[in-house]
Amino acid sequence: MAAGSPPLPSGKVTIPFYRDTRIIAIIVQIVFAIAVAALLWYLYSNMMNGLRQANLLPTFAFLSVPSGFPIAESVIPYDPSMTYGRAFVVGILNTVRVAGIGIILATILGLILGIARLSDNWLLRNVALVYVEIVRNVPLLLQLIFWFSLTRLFPRIQESIDVGGLLFLHNRGVTLAWPQAANDFDVWMVWVYGGIVVGIVYYVVRRIQFARRDRPGVALPQALLIAFGIALIGFFTTYFAYGSWPVSLSIPELQRFNFVGGITVTNSFAALLVGLVIYTAVFIGEIVRSGILAVSKGQREAARALGLTPGQTMRLVILPQALRVIIPPLTSQYLNLTKNSSLAVAVAYPDLFYVANTINNQTGQAVPVILMLMASYLSVSLLTSLFMNWYNRRIQLVER
């Protein structure tokens, strides 16, 4: 206690421990920790008691039992004879699918919106303003239901709107012609992989050269061009060598009930995607706008004085700097979009939350299912955050 102070001449004055702030602090913390632990223990044993009484003790055994319920759409093969565990994975993938595509589209639309809000064009600026004010002031759930109801206005599948025989609009979604692997697809894939390898090698070699010379340079576009070019050459070579294209177009054909061939984007997925994108883009737009405004006016003026066009000014000077302000709040929006996708159930899209609820309902295993649900959303969110934080660090100013 008094270690640092010089020894006192007469009799040691010791502070009683209950007046020593350091000891008190430790005691308080210990008491608090015990109280929290006791509370958690109480809640836990209370829950277990209740569950035991109701014959509902948590177990994960159900995961390997056949689920028996159908799921409308799935990225991986699924049917009701497969397990609850598989159904859960189907839910995760469906959430990732809508969130992934949603994030990309919302970013693009948000960027356009943010720039439009700052446009010199009166009409463009105000259209963007009206869009922002309407969309961000209406609850998302309502918007989802609105988009979903809108799909009812399309004709029944038998009377689909036919766009050139390749695209069909109906009240169950959109069916469109889609490329499909043909006989010689594998041959062509060899070319494609070859192209990718050559592209990567080229890119790495160039980067090493740049690093040696300590000069900046661009390698990615050329690398992509090389990979793409090789794939294209392979495409035609395969045709000339085997007489048929490696990829064919699967044209949708209306059968008695549904289209066969092509791909169908269900109205549920479409409504959810459109709803999430339109809603999130508004917030992204505002973030982009604030990011652009945060770049000092001098930068723009300097760029213009150097003779850069307005487009170049935006692309090469303003946006790269604005990005540093934009990324952190953008991450939040990406996470919001992912979490908001749990409203999917309102439009009958089988996302994670929906599937988990059905599993819970059929098995009665609320505690395990909710733990799995929380862990899944947490993992998806943390992965997104990690990626965005990495990207954020990458684009921060490197002080030399």
Partner 1 sequence: MRKQMILVLAGLLSLVLAACGGQAQQAPTTAPAQPATTAPEQPTAAPPASPAPTAAPAATSAPAGGTPAQPAAGGLIERILARGTLICGVNNNPLPGFSSVDAAGVRAGFDVDFCRAIAAALFDDPNKVEYRPLSAQERFTALQTGEIDVLIRNSTWTLGRDGNLGLDWAPTTFYDGQGMMVRKDSGINTLEDMNGATICVQTGTTTELNLADQFRARGLTFTPVVFPDGDATRAAYDAGQCDGFTTDKSGLVSSLTLLSNPADHKILEVTMSKEPLGPAVKQGDPQWFDAVRWIVFATFQAEEYGITSKNVDEFLKSDVPEIRRFLGIEGDLAKGIGLPNDFAVRIIRHVGNYAEIYDRNLGPNTPFNLPRGLNALYTNGGLLYSPPFR
Left, alpha or beta for 399 (phi > 0: left; psi -120 to 50: alpha)?
beta
Closest approach, Cβ 375 to partner 1, in A, equals: 10
**Is residue 362 near partner 1 by the rule CB under 8 A?**
yes
Which residue lies nearer to partner 1 by CB, 94 or 238? 94
Distance CA 319, CA 291 (A): 8
Does the protein bind partner 1 through residue 323 (CB under 8 A)? no
Quote the tokens at residue 246.
């490696």
- Interactions with partner 1, residue window 245-304 (CB under 8 A): 255-258, 260, 267-268
Kindly determine how many residues on this chain lie close enough to bind partner 1 according to the rule CB under 8 A. 51
In terms of DSSP bridges, do strands 247-250 and 263-266 run parallel, antiparallel, or are they unpaired? unpaired
Q: Tell me the C-alpha to C-alpha distance, in Å, between residue 152 and each of 200, 228, 257, 262.
A: 47, 41, 17, 22
Nearer to partner 1 (CB atom), residue 95 or residue 238: 95
Instruction: Indicate whether 86 belongs to the interface with partner 1 (CB under 8 A).
Output: no
The answer for residues whose C-beta is within 8 angstroms of residue 207's C-beta and 6 or more apart is 219
How far is the C-alpha of 338 from the C-alpha of 332, rounded, in Å? 10
335 binds partner 1 per the rule CB under 8 A:
yes
- The distance of closest approach from Cβ of residue 32 to partner 1 in the complex, given in angstroms and rounded to an integer, is 19
Task: For residues 129 and 134, give the distance between their C-alpha atoms in angstroms, rounded to a whole number.
Answer: 9
Nearer to partner 1, 80 or 310 (CB): 80
Nearer to partner 1, 324 or 339 (CB): 339
Per DSSP, what are the bridge partners of residue 217?
none
Q: What is the DSSP letter of 306?
A: T
Q: Out of 152, 212, 393, 394, which residue is the one contacting partner 1 (CB under 8 A)?
A: 152
Interface residues toward partner 1, by CB under 8 A: 53-56, 68-72, 79-81, 151-152, 156-157, 171-172, 255-258, 260, 267-268, 332, 335, 339, 342, 345, 348, 350, 353-354, 357-358, 360-364, 366, 370, 373-374, 377-378, 381-382, 385, 389
